[in-house]
Structure 1
Amino acid sequence: MPVISSVIHTIDKKPDGSPAILHLRHTELPQTDVLENLLSDFNDAYNGKQSKGWGLFHAESGAYPFSGWLKAYFEGKNDFMQFSRDAVEHLTKLMEESNLSVGGHAMFVHYRQGLTDYLAIALLHQSTGVSLDQEMNVVAAPHLDFGHVHLAARVNISEWQSNPASRQYVSFLKAKQGRRVSEYFRDFIGCQEGVDSAGETRTLLKAFSDFVETEDLPEESAREKTQTLVQYASSQAKMGQAVGLSELSELLDEDRPRAFIEHLRTQDYGLSEEFPADKKVLNKFRRFTGRAEGLSISFEQHLLGNKLEFDEQNGTLLIRSLPTQLLEQLKRATEA
C-alpha cells in the first residue's frame, strides 16, 4: 500500500466559539515506515466502521469546489500541496460557519493499493496514553486516536476517473449522533449519497433466501451457503471492497457457478452487479434451525416479525405465508 503523497495540517478551533486558526504544513510528509503504518492503522479503523455511506461527487461549483481541486491535482495542473491547502482552507471555512465542531488534524493521503489509486481524508484527534522511556520511566505518550475517527472519507480515484457512471466511488462515515456535524464534512468533500448499501444488502439476503427455497436445498447445504455468503460479504466489507454478484455466485456453488446469478436475473431483484455490503445488516442475518420428534424447522432471522411471529411466553411460533409446496401437501392430507 505505497503512499504517493501525504500531508497533515492542523485546525485549532475550540468549542468556546473563538475563531479557528489554521496551521499549514509546507512540505509533504516524508516517506517512512511510520507513515505506512499510520495509513494501515487508519484503513483498519475506517474499514471497521459500520455506519458508512457510498456516493459520488456533486457537480463542481462554488459550493462544491473539492472535486475541481482534486481533478487539477491528478491532471498535473497543481501539485499535492496546493490541492491540500485549498481543501483545508475550505474545510476551515465550513467549520467556522457550522460552529458545531472543534478542530483537529486534517489528513490527506494519496496512496495506491494494487492498481487502484485512493485518496483518504480524515479529521484526526490526539489522545494521550502512557509509555516507558529508555530509562524505564513512565511518561506521557501522545498519539493519533484512530479508534474515535468520526469525520473521514475515501475516494476511489481510479473508479472516479475510469467510470463516470459510477455512483459509489466515494465512501464516507455517517455519524451515529450529531448528523449536522457529518453533513458539513460531507459538504466539504462535495459528495452525495448514490447507493443505499443497507437496502442493497437486505435485497441480496432476501434474494438468497428465495434462492434457497427455490432450489429446495438440504438443510446442511443451505447452512453452508449461508455461511459462505456472510463470510464473503463481511470479508469484502472489512477490506473496504464491494460485493461482486458474479464472484459470490461462483463461491456459493462451484459445480454450478452461474446458478445464483441466473436466479437474480430471472427474478429481477434490481441489484447492482457490485455494491458495498452493510455490516449492520449482515450481522443480523442468521439461520435458525431445530429438529425434534419428527419436526424440522429452519428459517432466516430476517423473517421474524414478518412471516414468523415468536411468542416467547407460550413457546409458540406463528407461521404466515406457508411455502406453496408445503401448503399443497397439507391440503391433500386434509382432503384425504
Structure 2
Amino acid sequence: MSILIHHFVVHQLVVNNDGKMQLIPREGCLPVTPALEQLGHQLHHTFVSKPGKGVGHFAESAEENTFVTSLEGYQAAHADSPADSDSAYLTFTKETSNLLVQSLVDTGQVETGFVLFVHYEYLATQYLLVTLLNTKAHVEVSQNLDLSSREHLDLAKMQLAVRIDLTQYRIEPQQQRYISFIKGRMGRKVADFFMQFVGCEEKVDVKQQNKQLIQSVETYLASENLDPEEKTTHREQVTSYFKEQLDSGDSIRVSDLADRLPADEGSERNFAAFTATLETPLEPEIQPDPAALRQLNKFTGQGGGVSVSFERKLLGERVIYNPDTDTLTIKGIPPNLKDQLKRNL
C-alpha cells in the first residue's frame, strides 16, 4: 500500500570550521513527486521493520516543550488550510532542528547528516517521522558504459529516528503511546539526545512486551489439549498476523490474537481471558517487534562455542531433547554441515 505525503523537508547537520554543530536549512518543502512518495514508503517500511523500538509520550512538562509548541502550531495551520501550510511546516522543522543541534551540544554528542521531517498518511493514520540519516556512495553505469559515483541516503543504517502518531496524539493522548522510537545503537540509547530533542518519556519496553506476549502464547497453547500439528498451525497463524501488523506499522491486538488461537466455545475462555488472569496482564495493544517472530518459529541459543537454531516444529521429530542427559539428538544433519564433518573425520 502507498502512503500519502503531506510535507517533506530535509535539513543538513554539519560541523563547521570552528568545530561546532551547525544547521544548514532547506528553504522550502520538497515537491511531492512519485519518486518522493517512493522514498517516503521506504522510510516508513524501514522504520516499522526496525527491532527493539520503544514507545512513549511527551513529557508532563509538555507545555514548556518547544517541540510540542512548534508541532501544535503547524498542526493548527494544517487543519485550517492543508494546501497553505507549507510555510508553517518549514518553520516547525527549522525550529525543531535547532532544538536537535542544542540537544547534541548539551549531551556532548557529534552527529552529522541529513535530518528528514516527513508528515505522511498511511491507512487513515497521520504520522510525523523524524530521522537523521547519512549517505552512502554507489557507482552507476551509463548507457555508454561510463562509471560515475553518486551519494544516496543510507536507509539501511537508520538508527536515529522517532515517529509520532499524530492521529492518536489528537484523539487519545491519555494512552501515552503515540511516540515510537529506535532505542539504541551499539549499546547507546537514543534518549541521550534524540528523546531530549523531542521531549519524550518512555512508557513501555516493547522488547519485553513482545517477549511476554510470545511466552503467553506458548503457555496458552500448552494448556490446551492440542497435538503438535495443531500447535504448529496456530503458531503459523500468529506469525502471519505479526507480519501483517509489522508491514502496516499497526499494533498487535490481544483480541485479534484470540481469534487466531483455540477457544472453548462453551465458555468465555479464550486467549484474551487467559492473559487477563496473568500476574502481569498484557497490554491490550502491543507494538510488534520483528525479533519476536524468530522466537515464535525457532529455538535458538549459543554458548561455549556452540550455536544451535532449528524450527519449533522439528522438536520431537528430527530434533530430540533429553533433559536427563542434557543432550540434543539431530536426525538428518544439513548436507553442508555433514560435508564439513566428514572432511574433518
TM-score (norm: length of structure 2): 0.79
Q: Which residue number in structure 2 is paired with residue 311 of structure 1?
A: 326
Equivalent position of 2:28 in the other structure: 27
Match of 2:192 among 153, 178, 183: 183
State whether structure 2 residue 283 is matched by structure 1 residue 282: no
1:210 is aligned, of 206, 212, 219, to 219
Q: Determine the structure 2 residue equivalent to 1:46.
A: 47
Q: Is 1:262 aligned to residue 273 of structure 2?
A: yes
Q: Is the 8 A contact 1:151 1:182 kept in 2?
A: no
SS state of the match for residue 127, structure 2?
strand
* Partners of 2:138 and 2:150 within 8 A in 1: yes
Secondary structure class of the residue paired with 2:173: coil
Change in Cα spacing, 1:20 to 1:62, as seen in structure 2 (3 Å) is farther
Q: Residues of 2 paired with 1:17 and 1:277: CA distance?
A: 44
Task: Write out per-residue CA displacement over residues 234-272 of structure 1, whole angstroms, 9 at most, x where no aligned residue.
Answer: 432343221011111112249959722222234464111
Q: Which residue of structure 2 aligns with residue 328 of structure 1? A: none
After superposition, where does 1:1-336 map in structure 2 within 5 Å?
1-13=3-15, 18-61=19-62, 64-76=65-77, 79-177=88-186, 179=188, 182-253=191-262, 259-267=270-278, 269-285=280-296, 286=298, 287=312, 289-291=315-317, 311-312=326-327
The secondary structure found in structure 1 opposite 2:96 is: helix
Q: Is there any run of 5+ residues in structure 1 with no aligned partner, and where?
A: 299-303, 316-336
In structure 1, C-alpha distance between the alignment counterparts of 2:208 and 2:228, rounded to whole Å: 27
1:192-223 CA deviation, whole Å, 9 max, x = no partner? 11122222222222222222222221221111
Separation in 1, partners of 2:67, 2:179: 13
- Give unpaired runs (5+ residues) of structure 2: 79-86, 299-311, 330-345
Q: Secondary structure at the match of 1:241?
A: coil
The one-letter code sitting in structure 2 at the alignment partner of 1:290 is: G
- Alpha-carbon distance in 2 for matches of 1:26, 1:309: 70
Q: Distance in 2 between matches of 1:21 and 1:203?
A: 43
Query: Percent same amino acid among aligned pairs?
Result: 25
Amino acid at match of 1:110: H
Q: Is the 8 A contact 2:62 2:68 kept in 1?
A: no
**In the aligned structure 1, how far is the partner of 2:234 from the partner of 2:95?**
49
**In structure 2, what residue type is equivalent to 1:42?**
L
Shift of 1:122: 0.5
Task: Specify whether residues 116 and 42 from structure 1 end up closer, same or farther in structure 2 by C-alpha distance, changes over 3 A only.
Answer: same
Alignment check: 8 A CA contact 1:246 1:261 kept: yes
For residues 63 and 74 of structure 1, do their structure 2 counterparts lie closer, same or farther at Cα, with a shift above 3 Å needed? closer
Partner of 2:341: none
CA contact (8 A) 2:9 2:28 kept: yes
For the residues of structure 1 that align with 2:287 and 2:111, how far apart are their CA atoms? 31
Could you tell me how far apart the structure 2 residues matched to 1:63 and 1:38 are? 34
SS of 1:272's partner is: coil
Deviation (angstroms), 1:134: 4.5
Q: TM-score, normalised by structure 1?
A: 0.80
Counterpart AA for 1:311: D
RMSD over aligned Cα, in angstroms? 3.0
